[in-house]
Amino acid sequence: MSSVLEMRSITKTFPGVRALSGVDLTVRPGEVHAVCGENGAGKSTLMKVLSGVHPHGSYEGEILFEGEPCAFRDVRASERRGIVIIHQELALVPQLSIAENIFLGNEIASRGIVRRNETVRRAAALMRQVGLRENPQTRVADIGVGKQQLVEIAKALAKKVRLLILDEPTAALNDEDSAKLLDLISELRSQGIACILISHKLGEIRRVADTVTVLRDGRTVETLPVRPSPKAPAALPEDRIIRGMVGRDLDHRFPERTRYTGADAGRPALEIRDWTVRHPVDRRRKVVDGVSLTVRRGEIVGIAGLMGAGRTELAMSVFGRSYGIHDGGTVRIGGEEADTRTVPAAIARGLAYVTEDRKTYGLNLIDTVSRNVSLASLPKLARAGVVDEHRERRVAEHFRTSLRIRTPTVLEQVGRLSGGNQQKVVLGRWIHTDPEVLILDEPTRGIDVGAKYEIYTVVDRLAAQGKAVLMISSELPELLGMCDRIYTMAAGRLTGEVAREDASQEVLMRYMTEDGSRGAR
């Protein structure tokens, strides 16, 4: 059998939008086949067609699996054939055990009664297969995201998977967990299991994939071998993949900085002094411990740190004390002490916060683009307490154009937009509040290189207007390419402050792995 999967001329149309147009995809047995493209290119839609989320009859084209035509009416139909998809948002029940989650919907039972001992025994065997060393009866809520990914893969193996689809599997993982997951994908390949890997991380594609198919604007652009031959020492260059994704060479990953030249350039816009926050449940634990930092007008300042360093906790606690228990410290904006005890108070003092989790905290996914843009500044758009919908739509149209939000109309449900366009909606919302300080928490997570560049351009433009930007990112090249200075955090404390000209990944990593006991220098 030359291929385990063939998707031929797949076309999928939504109201007003053609998401896929004649897409072809062929996957060989035991192959890791990467699918990449900009946000909105059609990757997720194609996988939803394959897995039965979009049922047969709702699209045009043909699917052959192991040589046989398939007409999947739902997800369970595709799973019965051995096709299992693991979405970026994991489908686990936190309050159930690992074993219960592995066999959820596929329970081991006799006469309607779950055989618990057999469930635990078989779960333990599957867990060993994926390298998960936990008690099968441990609650999923009590393990980290990296281990939860392994539970999802064990769950797929329980369904006798023959083709595993992984959608951005390392988006929420640290480097160590990402490396372990990629090693597991390689191990599955050696067992004859084919994998489709959707990822924006081109380094991961070059490391683990055999073949890459590039989509652009809902069409197949090209399919390329990642290595010309098994013995070839060099993988396909990242720039070659990028050229296929965006339709052009991306010579510069970051825009050239435009410096702010106003009379108040260089003056402190945000000053945080001795900021301390305790864990909301375990009050003995300090998640932010005596942090002091400054961001000046027209400056982009980064915060680097490993998972658990306290970066997001710092940002959320400063913005309306949205996390933890405040235990001391002050915030000054524009040289004056600011009341940021509530979110409305923080917004009124010129703070804006773009959360790292746009789908949970950043957007109302079932509401329109227009309403999502206006949510943080409704008083600006209201008369006598009633929102002027015409003004609201004009504002949304302005940001749709200026931020290049790809949507047929501002009345489109924001949940239907790609990740990159959703992130632009969040940015538009906070830009409309006209903040003095913009805190960006993982602003390009899960976004392709083309959309990243557009967001970087927006951030640079804000700094050039005199805004102060505090950027939190797990991608060190992003911080090095965008920031004037970079603070590092570990264990809730600042461990370093590095100027742009002195910064490198090695220097930052050294500070990020300190124990946090000595503070910034």
Q: Report the C-alpha gap between 222 and 206 in whole angstroms.
A: 16
Q: Out of 66-80, 99-113, 169-183, which region has the weakest mean confidence (pLDDT)?
A: 169-183
Give residue 4's pLDDT: 93
pLDDT over 90 (residue 479): yes
Using CB atoms within 10 Å of the CB of residue 326, give its burial: 0 to 12 exposed, 13 to 18 middle, 19+ buried: middle
Give residue 249's pLDDT: 54
Give residue 222's pLDDT: 92
- Looking only at the bridges linking them, the beta strands covering 286-296 and 468-472 are unpaired
**The Cα angle at residue 372 between residues 17 and 452, in degrees rounded to 5:** 65
Residues near 266 by Cβ (< 8 Å), separated by ≥ 6? Answer: 296, 297, 298, 299
Closest CA to 410 of 362, 357, 372: 372
Helix or strand or coil: residue 215?
Answer: strand
Using CB atoms within 10 Å of the CB of residue 251, give its burial: 0 to 12 exposed, 13 to 18 middle, 19+ buried: exposed
pLDDT over 70 (residue 156): yes
Helix axes 449-464, 238-246, angle to 10 degrees: 80
**E-strand spans in 281-392?**
286-296, 300-305, 325-326, 330-333, 336-337, 351-354, 382-383, 386-387
pLDDT over 90 (residue 494): yes
Instruction: Report the pLDDT averaged over residues 330-352.
Output: 94
Contact present, 53 and 75 (Cβ < 8 Å): yes
Using CB atoms within 10 Å of the CB of residue 519, give its burial: 0 to 12 exposed, 13 to 18 middle, 19+ buried: middle
Ordered domains of the chain (ranges, CATH): 5-246 (3.40.50.300), 267-350+435-521 (3.40.50.300), 364-434 (no CATH)
Model confidence at 208, pLDDT cuts 50, 70, 90, reads very high
Backbone angles phi, psi at 163, to 5 degrees: -135, 115
pLDDT in tens, 112-152: 888 889 999 999 999 988 888 889 999 998 888 788 888 98
Instruction: Report the pLDDT averaged over residues 310-321.
Output: 94
pLDDT over 50 (residue 311): yes
Instruction: Report the pLDDT averaged over residues 469-495.
Output: 93
- For residue 49 the two structure tokens come to 């067609």
Give residue 301's pLDDT: 97
Model confidence at 297, pLDDT cuts 50, 70, 90, reads very high
Q: Report the C-alpha gap between 99 and 116 in whole angstroms.
A: 9
Closest CA to 143 of 132, 129, 131, 130: 132
Model confidence at 308, pLDDT cuts 50, 70, 90, reads confident
**Statement: the pTM of the whole predicted model exceeds 0.85:** no
- For residue 362 the two structure tokens come to 């950043």
Q: Report the C-alpha gap between 427 and 438 in whole angstroms.
A: 10
Closest CA to 444 of 454, 433, 435: 454
Give residue 356's pLDDT: 83
Closest CA to 213 of 36, 62, 9, 21: 36
Partners of 455 in the β-ladder: none
Closest CA to 421 of 440, 444, 398: 444
Eight-state DSSP code of residue 360:
I
Q: Within 13 Å of residue 242, how many CA atoms lie on the same side as its CB?
A: 18
Contact present, 475 and 389 (Cβ < 8 Å): no
pLDDT over 60 (residue 432): yes
Q: Out of 16-20, 38-42, 231-235, which region has the weakest mean confidence (pLDDT)?
A: 231-235
Backbone angles phi, psi at 28, to 5 degrees: -90, 160
Amino acid found at 402: S
Question: How many CB atoms lie under 10 A from the CB of residue 511?
Answer: 22
Instruction: Report the pLDDT averaged over residues 423-446.
Output: 91
Instruction: Report the pLDDT averaged over residues 369-377.
Output: 91
Instruction: Report the pLDDT averaged over residues 464-492.
Output: 93
Q: What mean pLDDT is reported for the chain?
A: 88
pLDDT over 60 (residue 231): no
pLDDT over 90 (residue 361): no
Q: Report the C-alpha gap between 359 and 350 in whole angstroms.
A: 24
Contact present, 43 and 36 (Cβ < 8 Å): yes
pLDDT over 50 (residue 521): no
